[in-house]
Amino acid sequence: MSVTNGPADSRGSSTAGVSTYSSVKGKTRNQILLTTDIVEVQKNSGQYVPCRALLDSASQSHFIKEICIKRLRLSRTQTHASIQGLSSVNTETYHSFSIHLMSRRTDWDTTLNCAILSHITGTTPSTKLDTITWKIPKDIKLANEQFHQPGSIDLLIEADLFYDMLRSGRRTRLGYYPVLQETFLGWTLSGRTPATTTQHDPQPTFLFREDNSLEHNLNHSREVELV
């Protein structure tokens, strides 16, 4: 996927999506769980509302969904980005958006500048996961208690912040079980799971590479490639 930014445009963001899926032909394989969190995002009234975030260690930009912006009612900044996906599927965004978010589990908080998209990805995970055998410790606070339930993604958080949010705690279990990682947002789960998927099931994948940050490109051009 490639993203090329140019001058601001007065039009709104396009309705095309930017989901990218991959499938591998052959035998059944274990489903991979992506890292999702519930964060509190500030509205124009000063109140905070919960949003479901996807932590993406391969992205160099933050993204927020259009419907989430309407809930927050904050002002936008005009900036244009043309995004090209697989099979020459294109989408564009014409605005960015500054948000303040905070953790539900710690006193950690930050401000992000996000590109606005009508759609980030499909439901994550794609199907409900049976976690009965996972034996998740009861002495930890999860960043997303409903991580195993399919749900929409409001916000995608880039790699730079992803690694800043990691803490020292980490727990693993033998077998096909996801890794428990401590973060400032709470404990997250990600990685291989006991659940299996077939070659016909779509698996979302993300990899964004950019030359410059979104903030820098409010007045400059940039190109972002997704390999």
> 3-state SS string over the chain?
CEEEEECCCCCCCCCCCCCCEECCCCCCEEEEECCEEEEEEECCCCCEEEEEEEECCCCCCEEEEHHHHHHHCCCEEEEEEEEECHHHCEEEEEEEEEEEEECCCCCCEEEEEEEEECCCCCCCCCCCCCCHHHCCCCCCCECCCCCCCCCCCCEEECHHHHHHCEEEEEECCCCCCCEEEEECCEEEEEEEEEEEECCCCCEECCCCEECCCCCHHHCCCEEEECC
Q: What is the pTM of this model?
A: 0.76
> pLDDT tens digits, the chain, 227 residues: what are they?
434 454 444 444 444 444 444 444 556 889 999 999 999 999 999 999 999 999 998 787 899 999 999 999 988 888 887 765 556 667 777 888 899 999 999 999 999 999 899 889 889 999 999 999 999 999 999 999 999 999 999 999 999 999 999 999 999 999 999 999 999 999 999 999 999 876 555 555 444 433 334 444 444 433 333 33
The answer to whether 22 and 42 are in contact (CB under 8 A) is: no
What is the domain count for the chain?
1
The pLDDT, as a whole number, for residue 165 is: 96
CATH number assigned to the domain comprising residue 177: 2.40.70.10
The pLDDT, as a whole number, for residue 136 is: 95
The pLDDT, as a whole number, for residue 17 is: 42
Give the Cα-Cα-Cα angle 158, 162, 164 (nearest 5 degrees).
Answer: 125
Quote the domain boundaries for residue 162: 2-225
The pLDDT, as a whole number, for residue 75 is: 84
The pLDDT, as a whole number, for residue 94 is: 86
